[in-house]
Copies of this chain bind each other. A is one copy, B any other.
Amino acid sequence: MDFATLFGVLIGGGLVGGAIFMQGVATKTSPTVFLDGASIMIVLGGTLAATAIAFPLKEVLRIMTVLRAVFKGSTGPTLGALVDEVIDVSNFARKGPKELESQIGNIKNFFLKDGVQMVVDGYAVEEIRSILETRVEYREERERAEAGLFKAMGRFSPAFGMIGTLIGLVYMLKGMGAGGGEDMASAVGTGMATALITTFYGALMAYLFFLPMADKLNSQISSKSTVQNLLTEGVCLLAMKKHPLIVREKINSFIPPREWKRET
């Protein structure tokens, strides 16, 4: 569970809600003005409609899957532990294909397992490298498209917030002049306040939800690529039966020095 994501949404939402409540008390105005179904509908509905136009249906339908993944976070081992796992396997690789094959069942990482299977199946090093690199490249491309969907929603929601505000403003302006003085000021004020609610929703959705989500996705995608590039290099070194010392030195170069272990 990635608590940072959940806490960020809850704390950010709480701060904004608290500010609305406190200012409502201070100005003796009911904060219910901020709960406006029609405003939420036009901003969220417009954003979803634009997203449905902008992306293939099957990607839009994957939003919930992607969201769940973001909240769950990555549960994989640390980079240092991954290096250790590759070193363990490399010890068997040096003994021979049979010994290596017997270890496949113990490998938890799906990508590493697949790579080791190819080594066992006798693929050439360059074929293995090319297959694994293509996988990383296209996995990254597919996932960047999913992150792009959240980024697009982060661009669309302030736009529909503005569109909603423009609708409200036009009606408010049209009605100006009816009833003089304070009456008019009161009507103008209320009209404009309501009109601004959609701008508020558009900004809140974009900056507390869609855009940070897109950033998180992109950050998770990069981490995953680092892991898979490290494993690709590791599998190729296995296939070349390199000494564990050299394997560790080489794949250590993918991870920060503070996570390095030396072979003992």
Contact = CB atoms under 8 A, between A and B. Distances in A.
A8 B49 contact: yes
A142 interface: yes
Main secondary structure on chain A at its contact with chain B? helix
Interface in A168-202: 168-193, 196-197, 199-200
Interface residues of A, number: 119
Given A173-B190, A184-B182, A216-B54, A12 B253 contact: no
Interface in A212-264: 212-213, 215-216, 219-220, 222-223, 226, 233, 246, 249-250, 253-257
Contacts of A200: 163, 166-167, 170
Contacts of A139: 256
Given A12-B49, A182-B177, A253 B42 contact: no
A193 B212 contact: no
Q: Which of A176, A209, A233 has the largest count of B CB atoms less than 10 A from its CB?
A: A176
A222 to B, nearest CB: 7
Interface of A: 2-5, 7-9, 11-13, 15-16, 19-20, 22-24, 27, 29, 33-34, 38, 41-42, 45-46, 48-57, 59-60, 73, 110, 118, 123, 127, 130-132, 134-135, 138-139, 141-142, 145, 148, 152, 155-156, 159-160, 162-164, 166-193, 196-197, 199-200, 203-204, 206-209, 211-213, 215-216, 219-220, 222-223, 226, 233, 246, 249-250, 253-257
